[in-house]
Amino acid sequence: MISAIYDLALTTGANRVVRGCRIEHVCGNPDLGPDKDREYGMRIITTALQALTTEVSGPTLFDPQGASTETIHAS
Amino acid sequence: MRLELGTFPVRDARFGSATRWDDGILTIDRDVVLRAVHDDPLVATASLEIARPGESVRIWPVRDVVEPRVKVNGSGVVYPGWFGRSIETVGRGRTHRLAGVGVVEVSSVNWHDAGGDFVDEYIDMVGPWAEITPQSALINVCLVVEPDPALAVQTKNEVVHRATLAVSDTLAAAVRGLRPPELETFELTTAPATLPGVVYIQCVHSPQAMSHSEHTFCTGTYGLTRLTPPWLLHPNEILDGALSGPYRTLFATSWTVVNNPILLDLYRRHGRDLRFLGVIVFRTEWTTQIEKDLMAEQAAKLAQMLGAQGAMVTWDAGGNEYIEVVHTVRACERLGIKTVFLTSEDSPEGGAPSLLKPVPEADAIVTTGFFNTRYLELGLMPPVERVIGYGQKAAGRAVDATVVGAPQVDTAGAIPPPWRHDDHYGFTRLSSFAY
């Protein structure tokens, strides 16, 4: 699941959560200009595809910016 | 900060040759009031009608209900900051109010033009919807107003609400120089340190993310509705209308905010059961996780700096805003501030939790029930003899108006209640049961 409010997605039990930008534009950022926006959007989508092929043991956050995974334990 | 609030109860209102209050009867010079409205050249049409409790009347659509108040002395003006009104800090001196009267803002102007998100509220003066709507017990002076159609939607919003405040000002001016039958003094006097310090965290929706409007709709702080970090208000400022404005649920209109039972109860128990420390006004609908969490952290920090041992949290919205609100509850609890959360509940369909995100720290919750009127099983509201406002609306929810060629229904007929009965401040006489 790609979500700007990723904490909610993790808490409600989504196993693979990709950090989106903002509620208004989850999969991109128009402030970056067309080229960088597309690049950023692609990074989000690629991260999501990678997430799908990654084994997880519980709700896990995938961050397209850091390209690292961060395990968040639902509180 | 000391505020004397003088109350002039109103038993009836009628049109007459001068605007005056006499022994509970409010006489309104309709021409003078409408002239005040037409002082604004951007107002195209305006009319004024009275609806009394028990009359077979429906008021549609309702954007706001304002209680007429006026500063007798002390700085500033009531309902400050809106569209050129003074922003001088209010809450000192004396204010007079007409109790039992509402000035109802009736207009076809929507809050923004993004589509699919209409103001769809109405007041019935009799019947099942009236029984659970606090404003139905008021004598409602209804301003049906339309702005110049050429204006942008934000300016239309401005014109319409300014017109409503012009009516409120004109009516309240009638009691400015009179001696009030009731007078109550509001002051946060020094209270014994043994009493628990309590802060009220009042979360109010910001339209900014949806409408890009900084000030034209929703409950404003001195007229500002944009997304801003938490504000600290003295409760007296709220009694003078520093937190007011039109809204999409009847439970967050200007009238409900100045008559908020939580605010008044906390105030009246100050020095007796608790020390009321102030109101943190928390604007909601931040649109990233980090912003939501930052605001929650900062609100809790403010509460701690004020010396709070307890906090009361309310909110007036739904959806994702729940996150910053419930994270505020959590942040307070983590700082050792015992926190009570007053909220309605989402629909229980599909086995989903009726609160968007369960948080273990939120362990003292007062529910006002499901906000979706479907679960109140009210059926259709019975037909009425007279409609104030508009005779037709899109069938079903007004959202249907976005469908080109949507069927229209007579607003005087049997129609469903507005979809949301969301009692943000605990007004209603509904009772809840657990099952």
Can you tell me the ipTM of this complex? 0.79
pLDDT at B397: 60
How far is it, in rounded angstroms, from Cα B386 to Cα B342? 36
pLDDT at A65: 75
Per the CB < 8 A criterion, the answer to whether B12 and B52 are in contact is yes
pLDDT in tens, B232-241: 999 999 999 9
Any A CB within 8 A of B360 CB: yes
pLDDT band, residue B318 (cuts 50/70/90): confident
How far is it, in rounded angstroms, from Cα A28 to Cα A6? 15
Beta-carbon separation of B289 and A75 below 8 A: no
Question: Least CB-CB distance to B287: which of A4, A6, A75?
Answer: A4
How far is it, in rounded angstroms, from Cα A13 to Cα A9? 7
Q: Can you tell me the mean pLDDT for A9-31?
A: 92
Beta-carbon separation of B289 and A6 below 8 A: yes
Residue A74 has pLDDT above 70, yes or no: no
How far is it, in rounded angstroms, from Cα B82 to Cα B14? 28
Residue B255 has pLDDT above 50, yes or no: yes
pLDDT at B362: 94
Smallest Cα distance from A17 to chain B, Å: 13
Cβ within 8 Å of A, B 215-274: none
Question: Least CB-CB distance to B357: which of A4, A8, A19?
Answer: A8
Residues B149-182, buried b or exposed e (16+ Cβ, 10 A)? eeeebbbbbbbbbbbbbbbbbbbbebbeeeebee
pLDDT in tens, B166-212: 999 999 999 999 999 999 999 999 999 999 999 999 999 998 887 77
Any B CB within 8 A of A21 CB: yes
Q: Can you tell me the mean pLDDT for B336-359?
A: 87
- Chain A residues close to B317, C-beta within 8 Å: none
Beta-carbon separation of B359 and A21 below 8 A: no
Residue B432 has pLDDT above 70, yes or no: no
Beta-carbon separation of A8 and B209 below 8 A: no
Any A CB within 8 A of B357 CB: yes
Beta-carbon separation of B320 and A8 below 8 A: yes
Q: Tell me how many domains chain A contains.
A: 1
pLDDT band, residue B134 (cuts 50/70/90): very high
Half-sphere exposure of B419 (CA within 13 A, CB side): 13
- Chain B residues close to A24, C-beta within 8 Å: 209, 287
Q: Which residue has the higher pLDDT, B317 or B339?
A: B339
Nearest residue in chain A measured CA to CA from B352 = A12
Alpha-carbon dihedral sign for residues B137, B139, B141, B144? positive
> Which has the closest alpha carbon to A1: A13, A12, A11, A14?
A14
- pLDDT, mean over chain B: 93
List helix spans (H) across B377-420: none
pTM: 0.93
pLDDT at B135: 97
Residue B399 has pLDDT above 50, yes or no: no
Residues of the domain holding A42? 2-71
Nearest residue in chain B measured CA to CA from A8 = B357
